[in-house]
A and B are shown apart, each in its own frame.
Chain A
Amino acid sequence: QLQLQESGPGLVKPSETLSLTCTVSGGSISSSSYYWAWIRQPPGKGLEWIGSIYYSGSTYYNPSLNSRVTISLDTSRNQFSLKLSSVPAADTAVYYCARASSSSRPNFDYWGQGTLVTVSS
């Protein structure tokens, strides 16, 4: 059974860089069949797609976050990571990692449990 687990600091200071890692078990992130995504949810609010990465390293980002987002792969550790720079308080959210079957289909079929990141001084 595929499992995803987010990890990283729960508290980040404003203007600094938020860094999270998603560890995938029960399957390989090097599979050509899937894309790997980051999605976030501010407290009490809706979901927002941040971006996705393919096993080849191709990345796709939400245009509203494009200038601040970097998603990368570490195939040796079966992990993928998110970096979000120059964070304001509005980036406080539960961050989820997820798997999708395509770059054009929002079929996020496996999700991590989510990790709350608070942006505060």
Chain B
Amino acid sequence: QSALTQPPSASGSPGQSVTISCTGTSSDVGGYNYVSWYQQHPGKAPKLMIYEVSKRPSGVPDRFSGSKSGNTASLTVSGLQAEDEADYYCSSYAGSNNFVFGTGTKVTVL
């Protein structure tokens, strides 16, 4: 299984929105509504931000939203704040009890 494809970087000014894509295949992203998104600050463990495409765990601001179309999932961060600057990774179920992560996107708040 190959890593899901994400853009290396994305950026936006405070208050703006940024959208990150996560492209896979019909065997992973396109085949299941089991896509998660993780935020990772430098030197820290990843934090679950979105699960099952668009659901938010308790405590995650509603500025974070997820969606999916075909083989591509997306994470949108609205109303960008300085603390949103981090690396973001998508993950998908890939069948047969396997998971695959994305290549990661560095979000910069300008």
Asked if A and B bind, the verdict is yes
Does B69 make an interface contact (CB < 8 A)? no
Does B89 make an interface contact (CB < 8 A)? yes
From B44, B46, B48, B98, A47 is in contact (CB under 8 Å) with B46
CA–CA, A59 and B32, complex, Å? 21
The interface-forming segment of A18-26, A72-80, A84-92, A99-107 is A99-107
Q: Which residues of A contact B (CB under 8 A)?
A: 39, 45-49, 52, 60, 62-64, 96, 103-109, 111-114
Q: Mark B18-56, 1 if CB is under 8 A from A, else 0.
A: 000000000000001011101000001111100110000
In the complex, the number of residue pairs spanning A and B with C-beta atoms less than 8 Å apart equals 67
Cβ contact within 8 Å between A49 and B100: yes
In the complex, the chain A residue whose C-beta lies closest to that of B37 is A106
Cβ contact within 8 Å between A62 and B98: yes
Does B101 make an interface contact (CB < 8 A)? yes
Given A46-B102, A46-B104, A60-B97, CB of A106 within 8 Å of CB of B36:
yes
CB proximity of A46 to chain B, nearest CB, Å? 4
Q: How many residues belonging to B are interface residues under a CB distance threshold of 8 Å?
A: 27
Cβ contact within 8 Å between B51 and A105: yes
CA–CA, A48 and B46, complex, Å? 12
Given A63-B98, A111-B45, CB of A47 within 8 Å of CB of B93:
no
Q: Which residues of B contact A (CB under 8 A)?
A: 1, 3, 32, 34-36, 38, 44-48, 51-52, 57, 89, 91-93, 97-104
Cβ contact within 8 Å between B103 and A64: no
Cβ contact within 8 Å between A105 and B52: yes
CA–CA, A114 and B43, complex, Å? 9
CB proximity of B87 to chain A, nearest CB, Å? 9
Chain B residues near A60 (CB-CB < 8 A)? 97-98
Chain B residues near A46 (CB-CB < 8 A)? 3, 89, 101-104
Chain A residues near B92 (CB-CB < 8 A)? 106
Cβ contact within 8 Å between A114 and B91: no
